[in-house]
Amino acid sequence: MNTASHPHPVPPVGKTPAFEWSEHLLTGDSRMDHTHEEFATQLNALLATPAAQQLPLYQAFLDHTVAHFAQEDRWMLATGFAASNCHTDQHAMVLETMQAVVSHYEKGETDIINRMGEALAEWFAQHAVSMDAGLAQHLQSIGFDSATETMAEAQATRNATVSSCANSSQS
Ligand SMILES: [Fe+2]
Ligand SMILES: [Fe+2]
């Protein structure tokens, strides 16, 4: 969905969203924030769907999350992070768990997508304001433009001291 014209995902009528989008989740990187709003919209749509019909939506949500995490991992690599760092490792762990859910669901554990969705809502609220916000601040401080994925100053990464763990206390 094009969230540009709907900056704040609207919950389905009559249903409390599992994941409340709010301004405090904004990281200041507009491309990252756009991806996060799509994440929230898809998560709420998934949780508003009866369990028996969730698998196709879950697969699409999983694909979106693969791309969401790959995007941030790519920006980290481009700006001086080691290939293995706290933030990237956390993405990998979450994706592994999300992928495992599919086979459990297919074996008849059909409430597992709801449980995963609720866990993700809780996890994401912490992740966005810690690791993602830290990454956005880092990108901005060294002049990395996430829209074009280019550095304003080619030398910046050489001098950057990067620790993705600095904001991970809540994870
Ligand atoms: Fe993110
Ligand atoms: Fe992240």
Centroid of ligand 1 to alpha carbon of 160 (angstroms): 21
Query: CA–CA separation, 123 vs 164, rounded Å?
Result: 17
Ramachandran sector of residue 19 (left: φ over 0; alpha: ψ -120 to 50; beta: rest): beta
CA pair distance 27, 29, nearest whole angstrom: 6
Cα(108) to centroid(ligand 1), Å: 30
**145 forms bridges with which residues in the sheet?**
150
Q: Rg (Cα) of the chain, in Å, rounded? A: 17
pLDDT tens track of the chain, all 171 residues?
444 445 555 555 555 667 888 999 999 999 999 999 999 999 999 999 999 999 999 999 999 999 999 999 999 999 999 989 999 999 999 999 999 999 999 999 999 999 999 999 999 999 999 999 999 999 999 999 999 999 886 555 555 555 556 544 433
Q: Is 66 exposed, middle or buried (0-12, 13-18, 19+ CB in 10 A)?
A: middle
Q: How far is the CA of 79 from the centre of ligand 1 (A)?
A: 16
Say how many C-beta atoms besides its own lie within 10 A of residue 44's C-beta: 23
**Residue ranges of domains in the chain, CATH in brackets:** 28-159 (1.20.120.50)
